[in-house]
Structures are given as C-alpha cells and as structure tokens.
Amino acid sequence: MSDEVAHDFYPIIRVYKDGRIDRLWDTSPVPATIDPQTSVQSKDVVISTTPLISARLYLPKSATPESTGKFPLLIYFHGGGFCNGSAFSPTYHNHLNLLVSEANVVAVSVEYRLVPEHPLPAAYEDSWAAVKWVETHFAGTGPEEWLNQHADLNRVFFSGDSAGANIAHQMGLKVGTEKLVGFKLNGIVLVHPYFWGEEPIGGELALAENTRKMLADLWRFCYPLTSGTDDPFLNPGKDPKLAELGCGKVLVCVAEKDSVKDRGLYYSEVSEVLKKSGWNGVVEVMEAKEEDHVFHLIDNSCDNARTMLKKVVSFMN
C-alpha cells in the first residue's frame, strides 16, 4: 500500500496513487426512520438498478395514511464536490428532517453516483433519472405510494447545496428544455452553489491563489472531458440555454466568507446574468454575514441557519 497522493482536495477527498480513496467527511450512513424530534418519516427506495440510483423519501408529520390533501414536493441534491456526501449521511438526513418538518413538504433526497469511480456527467444523468422517476407519479399511478398519495406534482421545487446546487440548476434547465408532462417546477433554491469560471470576478481576485486553483482543479478532476472552467455546467454565465430555465423563481443563498460567494451573486439578479439571458422569472438573494460555505449543515441551530431556513420555507410556501 502506497501513501503517495495523486489528488488532494482536502477537506473533501484524497486519492492515492495505488487507487485508494479517502472521503474525508460524513460517509457513514444512518437508517431511515421516524425522527424523534420532528416526527418526520423516511424510507429508502431504488430508482434504477443499472446504474444503481436510489433516494431517501421524507413525509411530514401531517402526511398520514388518512390524509387526503397533497403537499409540495422538494427534490434535493446533496453537496460534496460531486465526490463526497450522501443522501443517507447523518448531515443530510438531519437537514432533510428539519427542512421537511418546517416547510411541511414531501421530499426526495437523491443518491447519485460519485467521482472518481463515476466521473461527471454521471451525477447529472442520475439526478435527471430521479426527476423523471418522480414525474411518473403525476397521475397517482407511479411505483411509490408515498408520492402517489401525498406529493403534489404541480408544486415541485429543486434544491441543493454546493455541488448539489449546481445539479439543481442543471435539472431546472433540463425541465425547461425537456417539457415534462404533469410536472410543474415552481422554483429552485441554490445554497452556496459551486459555480466557477476562467476569469475572476468580484472578490475572487483577493482569494488565495491555491484556493482558486483548488476550485478549478476539483472541477477538472470531477469532469475529465470538460472544456474547462467556463464549461456551461460550471459557469452558467456561459450557457446559451440559460433563458430556458424551467421555473419562475430562484432563491440564491450565499455566505459572506465563502470562496464561491461571488459566483452565487453573479448568477443572481445582482449581475443580471439571468435577465440578460431572456429568462422572465424572479431571483431573490440572501446573504449570511460572517458565515462560510455550508455553515448551516455544520450548525443548524445557529441564528443565521435558522434565518436561512425560514427564508427557504417561505420561498416554498
């Protein structure tokens, strides 16, 4: 066994020359259950066996077998730089329990394949397969009874954090170009989105050179066939299809001390990227002062995390 490192993206992932992979946070799964704090119920489903795509479903306390009303549906894409994280990890399980409870929504948290075993675009392909699987429930005759009975497919939201926010944006674009039947995407919530680009913008010039290099190198590691950091998958400002975003509103959450903050602002109304593209929706921006990347996942009880949660909940309701 060699300790020679081939790729080091601390604190996300480290890959050794002998092929060993260290995912550096939060990889131990926790079981689906009834959460004692929120009474949110969860269970795991298999969406596809080849490739293997799965998800964790969540029902709010008010969604009982007897209830007849339907709830907004959230499809969530976890973060982790495309190479770490899991819908089944304690971090995301706890986050979805809290979000589902506060927003009173049904949720599908997608487990997509990770880099480097499955380079991009695998994560995008898996996520789209999950969206299309959800769509099969529009007439109440899909394979999953929780969605048939409780999910309102005319009130669908996408959300994710970091790389998951990048995925949520791409899925919003695909909804706009593919025109799904019986499926209405109302809005997307992008939390600290992992976007980047060739030319530094805003405060990026003040970032340490090794930080800028890491963000660019991570992308090339995840997507070996990419055209570079201005690839539309990473830099929405370079995407000729941006005007086809398939929803009417977007909430972008950024954190003041986050290295990718200016990309979130650039995506938003602040820089008019979406408006210039010809998209006619509404963008809201929320900035958490004094906070860093995905702070709300590290401490969901801090004041800024609670404030952000309230904003996301009001956006979906």
Verify whether residue 217 is a known catalytic residue.
no
Determine the residue type at 70.
K
Active-site residue identified among 126, 239, 258, 262: 258
Q: Token pair of 124, please?
A: 């995008």
Q: Token pair of 302, please?
A: 């801090």
What average pLDDT does this structure show over 158-180? 96
Active-site residue identified among 101, 109, 162, 259: 162
CATH, range 5-316: 3.40.50.1820
Q: How confident is the model at residue 146 (pLDDT cuts 50, 70, 90)?
A: very high
pTM as predicted:
0.97
What average pLDDT does this structure show over 125-145? 97
Q: Is the peptide bond before 121 cis (omega within 30 degrees of 0)?
A: yes
| Contacts of residue 192, Cβ cutoff 8 Å, sequence gap at least 6 | 79, 161, 162, 165, 253, 254, 255, 258, 260, 261, 264, 293, 294
Active-site residue identified among 93, 95, 150, 293: 293
What average pLDDT does this structure show over 147-165? 98
What pLDDT, on a 0 to 100 scale, did the predictor assign at position 182?
84
Verify whether residue 258 is a known catalytic residue.
yes
Percent of the chain with pLDDT over 90: 88
What pLDDT, on a 0 to 100 scale, did the predictor assign at position 179?
87
Contact 100, 59 (CB under 8 A): yes
Residue spans per domain, the chain = 5-316
What average pLDDT does this structure show over 202-221? 96
Verify whether residue 150 is a known catalytic residue.
no
